Amino acid sequence: MVSVPRPTVTLLAVLVVGAAATGLLATGALAPDGDGRGYEATAFDPETEADVLAHRANGVTNLTADADTNRARRLLDRAAGGETVEISEDDDLSYLGHQSEYAVYGGEYYYLNGTERNGSVRIELDPRTPDEAMDELAVPYDETRPNVQRVVDRGNATVRPPNGSARFGVDAPSVVVRDGTYYVLNPTNQLWFFGQFAALLLAPIVSRIGAVYLATGLGVAGLSALAERRRVLDLQTAVALAVVAALAHGLLAGLLGSGVDHWTADADLVPALAATVGLASPSGLSLGAMLAVGVALRAPRESRDVLLAGGLVVAAVLAGGVLSAVATGIPTPVLTALFGGIPGTVGLGFLLALLGYVHAAPGGGDGDVAGRA
């Protein structure tokens, strides 16, 4: 026989998880790196050190490194000689079909123009002199932002977004020229993008757990204190707490910027916050409704109550998917809700279901001697 945790232990676990998750968000531990991305500057001579630029600059394709087979070298040699090279989309160099930027091959500068059509890729390399390349690539030192200038001055520093908000677009020019000296700027942390992406994925989940766990846990604790007993939840009360938790999640998502999209500096605060609450609340409701599922599962169990609680979870998940689809203009969120949202909610809400189960009021009585802890 599986033993059920004591109500006090379960409630404490919910509150600890909720407080920890909310704390992670409040301290910015899961926020995208608003401090920016680290870069380093390396001086180089455009006339003789084109390969240094190609090796270090993100915005310049290093074709020399790509010529790692005899066939690739022959194709690139033909393109460098002025020929338009056509290859299949299965070729190792087919990724060049999506490139339109400067490139370096064999120590020489080219403008790479790749196109893809009808299953084939065409590659053209238009030669450029070092002066032509630098005229287009290099940004004068005085025209860059102060934190970009700091990279050049110190050799390495952090480049922040212009408006101070974290974005995937945090970037610096590939080349900066100061007093006739050219510097190539390259990021020091190549995994930075993946860290940003992971933070953006985790923040909404942690926000959801933090707000919902904390709101439901505090609600159950308050009701237990008022009633002076542990088993105080009926289905209606559990649903009411789920609604409160949903609103708490929406507010937390808006205030801490972990919702669908936090407002910008030039947006009206109230409409933007209201929009975020509206978009985030269904996911909070679906998770909070797991509390009602736990209550419905406690004996004496009624099929109607179980279906009602489970239906609320499913309906809230689907409502969130529909709202996201309307907001983004694509149907993908609905499919994600169907195939991932429901299992994910059940997994994240298991502890809440357990909380509802151990705090469910006895079917026929007002008191709860056995349920005290």
Q: What is the mean pLDDT of the chain?
A: 79
Angle between helix axes 235-255 and 269-297 (nearest 10 degrees) is 150
The pLDDT of residue 202 is: 74
pLDDT above 70 (res 119): yes
Task: Quote the CA–CA distance of 279 and 370 in Å, as a whole number.
Answer: 41
Q: What is the mean pLDDT of residues 296-321?
A: 82
For the full predicted model, state whether its pTM sits above 0.95: no
Can you spell out the DSSP letters for 310-372? Answer: HHHHHHHHHHHHHHHHHHHT-SHHHHHIIIIIHHHHHHHTHHHHHHHHHTBPPSS-S--STT-
pLDDT above 70 (res 28): no
Task: Quote the CA–CA distance of 286 and 268 in Å, as a whole number.
Answer: 28
The pLDDT of residue 221 is: 93
Residues 149-193 have pLDDT tens digits of 888 888 765 555 555 444 444 467 889 999 999 999 887 765 545
Task: Quote the CA–CA distance of 161 and 145 in Å, as a whole number.
Answer: 10
The pLDDT of residue 164 is: 44
Beta pairing class for 60-62 and 100-105 = parallel
Task: Quote the CA–CA distance of 221 and 18 in Å, as a whole number.
Answer: 13
CA angle centred on 214, ends 339 and 216, rounded to 5° = 75
3-class DSSP state of 74: helix
Q: How many CB atoms are located within 10 Å of the residue 228 CB?
A: 10
Lowest mean pLDDT segment, chosen from 70-79, 98-107, 187-196, 198-207: 187-196
Task: Quote the CA–CA distance of 205 and 245 in Å, as a whole number.
Answer: 14
On whether the CB atoms of residues 121 and 157 are closer than 8 A, the answer is no
Q: How many CB atoms are located within 10 Å of the residue 249 CB?
A: 31
The pLDDT of residue 239 is: 93
Is the C-alpha dihedral spanning 250, 253, 256, 261 positive or negative?
negative
Residues 252-294 have pLDDT tens digits of 776 665 434 444 444 455 565 566 666 777 888 888 899 999 9
Task: Quote the CA–CA distance of 290 and 350 in Å, as a whole number.
Answer: 7
The pLDDT of residue 191 is: 52
Question: How deeply is 159 buried, as exposed, middle or buried, from its count of CB atoms within 10 A (0-12, 13-18, 19+)?
Answer: buried
Q: What is the mean pLDDT of residues 77-101?
A: 87
Tokens 């050219």 -> residue: 182
Task: Quote the CA–CA distance of 289 and 29 in Å, as a whole number.
Answer: 28
Task: Quote the CA–CA distance of 309 and 241 in Å, as a whole number.
Answer: 13
Residues 353-366 have pLDDT tens digits of 999 999 998 864 44
On whether the CB atoms of residues 233 and 359 are closer than 8 A, the answer is yes
Task: Quote the CA–CA distance of 363 and 367 in Å, as a whole number.
Answer: 11
What is the band of 4 on the pLDDT scale with cuts at 50, 70, 90?
Answer: low
What is the band of 67 on the pLDDT scale with cuts at 50, 70, 90?
Answer: confident
Q: What is the mean pLDDT of residues 42-47?
A: 93
3-class DSSP state of 20: helix
On whether the CB atoms of residues 212 and 287 are closer than 8 A, the answer is yes
pLDDT above 60 (res 33): no
